[in-house]
Amino acid sequence: MLAAALRTGATPVRLAAVKAASQLDIADVNPVLSELVGDAKSDTKVRVDALNRLASSKDAQLDAALELAAKDKAEPLRIAATSIRAKSGKGGAVAPLLAIISSGTVGEKQNAIATLGGLAGAEADGKIAALVTELADGKLAPELQLEVLEAADKRAAAKVKAALDQFKALRKADDTLWNYRMTLAGGSAASGKKIFLERVEASCARCHKVGPDGGEVGPVLDGIAARQTREYLLASLVTPNATIAPGFESLIVVLKDGRNFAGVAKAGGADEVVINSPEDGVMKFKKADIAKIQKGQSAMPDTMINVLSKRDIRDLVEFLASLK
């Protein structure tokens, strides 16, 4: 039944069949899985899962399948092959990774650096230290910075630590984005969109519209990439109070009689201050009645950095940067 499902089923059925073969440890279907790995017409995810299953069951055909996968057109399949080879711990795991780091696609390079970070040994230490030095010298592609820093953080070798220190010394005291600059490029817009629409802890779409759907508390984000830089988009996420989108400034109006009201500032006459208060709607105050006006906090939560990983943030920046 599994073999039939793998051969003729629709993609979701095939994915479930590979999963069943893995969980029940049924090796009889491995020949069909080998076929799938080599079948360019099948869904890429099916082929990746099939390859991973051949690896976990230590199938005799694994090496042949890896050979095919490493040369395939589909990037995810090449990436899976690289990871499996490196993790198999056979000698010479580092050299192929170095080749990919110098000539692969961005996705392959990111994966190869992350994989290298998990391999023990002085050769890996040396390459990671060299990558951190490239970063410090401003020569590393921005898309690879997060992987390089994550890989470096995992190493105990003195030369990696020294290179990291050299990089950290570049930090300017007033650079509030320093800890997140490695998320400016290299994300996946598709993953970012998924986080934007579906991640409950962030609930971006509760306050922002992209296309027809979304809330209205925050600015509409369609076309934001045509108006703003990646750096601005990143700052909106990690330090929302640093710059407030025009038309969304919050004010706290303190009256001479002691009462105070908070809301988003609106245009008004020369002798008045107007705010749109979430509780009370549009309110007008005579300047003569006002004791002081304070800047309020952004209505955009400043807690995103607590609920999102750097990878999530990088994917969100990539998604926002695609909204042209």
Residues at the site binding ligand HEC, with contacts judged by CB under 6 A: 196, 202-204, 206-208, 217-219, 221, 224, 233, 236-237, 240, 244-245, 248, 298-301, 304, 316, 320
Nearest distance from C-beta of residue 212 to ligand HEC, angstroms: 18
Question: Can you tell me the distance from the alpha carbon of 69 to that of 51, in angstroms, rounded to the nearest whole number?
Answer: 8
Nearest distance from C-beta of residue 92 to ligand HEC, angstroms: 43
- 59 vs 222, beta carbon nearer ligand HEC: 222
Question: Can you tell me the distance from the alpha carbon of 258 to that of 278, in angstroms, rounded to the nearest whole number?
Answer: 20
Residue 184, classified by CB atoms within 10 Å of its CB into exposed (0-12), middle (13-18) or buried (19+), is buried
Nearest distance from C-beta of residue 201 to ligand HEC, angstroms: 9
- 167 vs 319, beta carbon nearer ligand HEC: 319
Nearest distance from C-beta of residue 226 to ligand HEC, angstroms: 11
- 144 vs 304, beta carbon nearer ligand HEC: 304
Nearest by Cα to 75 from 108, 50, 43: 108
Residue 312 CB partners (closer than 8 Å, separation 6+): 195, 199, 202
Question: Can you tell me the distance from the alpha carbon of 41 to that of 319, in angstroms, rounded to the nearest whole number?
Answer: 28
Nearest distance from C-beta of residue 199 to ligand HEC, angstroms: 7
- 141 vs 207, beta carbon nearer ligand HEC: 207
Residue 67 CB partners (closer than 8 Å, separation 6+): none
- 194 vs 286, beta carbon nearer ligand HEC: 194
Nearest by Cα to 311 from 182, 199, 168: 182
Residue 75 CB partners (closer than 8 Å, separation 6+): 105, 107, 108
Place of tokens 């609930």: 203
Nearest distance from C-beta of residue 317 to ligand HEC, angstroms: 9
Place of tokens 């943030």: 313
- 86 vs 221, beta carbon nearer ligand HEC: 221
Nearest distance from C-beta of residue 53 to ligand HEC, angstroms: 35
- 56 vs 179, beta carbon nearer ligand HEC: 179
Nearest by Cα to 155 from 185, 180, 132: 132
